[in-house]
Amino acid sequence: MLAFRPLTWEDREPYTALYRRSPVRYAEYSFFSLWGWLGTNPLDLAWEGELCWLRSHGHKPGFCAPIGNWDAVDWESAIDRNFVPGDVLQDVPEAIVERFPDSLRSRLHVEEDRDEWEYLHSVSELIALEGGKFAQKRAHVRSFLSGYDWEYLPLLPEDFPELLAFQSNWRRLREEGASLDDEDLAIRCALERWDDFPLLGALLKVDGAVIGYTIAEELDEETLDIRFEKALPKYAGSYQALNQLFLKHQGSGYTWVNREEDMGDPGLRAAKLSYHPVRLLKKYRVTLPGRAPAFLAESDNPAGGRLPPL
C-alpha cells in the first residue's frame, strides 16, 4: 500500500527529476503547479520505485496519476497493489491509460474528463498567425499595435510590485471576489520563488502604465506553459498582442506552448479553441468498480492501513 505524506519543499528536486522522465509532461503535474496552489489544494505524495503518486485534499479530493517513467511500470500490478474497489484516480494522462493492458482496462471504468484537457499549440504558428484560421487574431493584433503607444518589457524582480498592483486592479474590475483568491496566492508564490522555478514573464504597457502581463513556466526544453495571462480588455487586441509578443520575444526558442485547461468554462473553451491547438492533452477519470472510495490511507489513519470503504 502506498505510504502518503504531505508534500514539502524538499521534494522539489527529486519530484522534478521524475517529472522529467514522464513521457508526456502535463502542466498540471509540474512541481510549480503543485506548490503554487498548495495553500488551497493540500497534497500528499508517495514514492514508489520510479513513480511518485499524488493525492489531493483540495477542491477535487482524491488520488491523482503518478509522474515518472510510465514505460517501466507493470500497471496491473501497481493498480492492484495500491488501490481497492471504489477508489478513483483523477486527471490521469491519456499516455498512462494507453499503457494499461487489456486485462486491466477491462476491469476499470475509464471516462474522459474534457474539462481538464490541456491545449497544446505550435509556438511558430502563434507568432506568425498566418492563414485564414488566424485572420481575426491578426486583425486584433494590428489594431492594438497601431492604436496605442505600447511598450513590451521582459519581467524582472523590480517589476513585481507594479505587476501586483495591476493584478489587484484587474481583480477589482472583474468583481469576482474570493473566486480568484486561489490564483492570487499562486501568483504571489511565483514571484516569491521566482529564482527557484524556470519562470519567465513580461509586462505590456500603454502610455507607461501596465495593462497586461504574462508569467510562463518552462516544462521542458521544447515546451512553455502559460501560467498566468492578464490584460485589460478595454484596450482592443491587448490579449492577442500580449500572446504574440511574448512568444515572439521570449518563446521563439520553444516548439510548443501549453495554454492549460478550460475547466469547463464555455467562454474560456471557445477562446482556447480559437487559437487552434495542434493537440489536446487528454485526461481521464479512472474508477475501480466497487463501493464508494475509501480515499483515506496510512497518513490519515494513526492505526495504519486503510479505513473501510464508506
The pLDDT of residue 48 = 96
Looking at the fold, whether 217 and 190 belong to one and the same domain comes out as yes
In a domain, 192, yes or no: yes
Contact 244, 142 (CB under 8 A): no
Looking at the fold, whether 296 and 195 belong to one and the same domain comes out as no
The pLDDT of residue 302 = 31
Looking at the fold, whether 28 and 58 belong to one and the same domain comes out as yes
The pLDDT of residue 60 = 87
Looking at the fold, whether 63 and 156 belong to one and the same domain comes out as no
Distance CA 275, CA 133 (A): 8
pLDDT averages per 10-residue partition of the chain, 310 residues: 96 98 97 96 96 94 97 97 97 98 97 98 99 98 98 99 97 75 95 98 99 99 98 97 99 98 96 98 95 45 30
Half-sphere exposure of 50 (CA within 13 A, CB side): 12
The pLDDT of residue 293 = 47
Looking at the fold, whether 88 and 110 belong to one and the same domain comes out as yes
Looking at the fold, whether 152 and 268 belong to one and the same domain comes out as yes
Looking at the fold, whether 234 and 183 belong to one and the same domain comes out as yes
In a domain, 305, yes or no: no
pTM of the model: 0.91
Burial classification of residue 146, based on how many CB atoms lie within 10 Å of its CB (0-12 exposed, 13-18 middle, 19 or more buried): exposed
- Residues, the chain, total? 310
In a domain, 310, yes or no: no
In the sheet that holds 88-93, the strands lie side by side as: 5-6, 43-48, 51-56, 62-68, 88-93, 283-287, 109-112
Looking at the fold, whether 144 and 273 belong to one and the same domain comes out as yes
Q: Per the structure, how many domains does the chain have? A: 2
The pLDDT of residue 309 = 30
Domain with 89 in it: what CATH number?
3.40.630.30
Looking at the fold, whether 140 and 98 belong to one and the same domain comes out as no
- Domain membership of residue 216 as a residue range: 118-281
Distance CA 2, CA 82 (A): 6
Rounded to the nearest 10 degrees, how much is the dihedral formed by the CA atoms of 39, 41, 42, 46?
A: -140
Phi, psi of 128 (to 5 degrees): -75, -35
The pLDDT of residue 59 = 85
Greatest distance between any 2 Cα atoms in the chain: 68
Looking at the fold, whether 273 and 287 belong to one and the same domain comes out as no
Looking at the fold, whether 266 and 289 belong to one and the same domain comes out as no
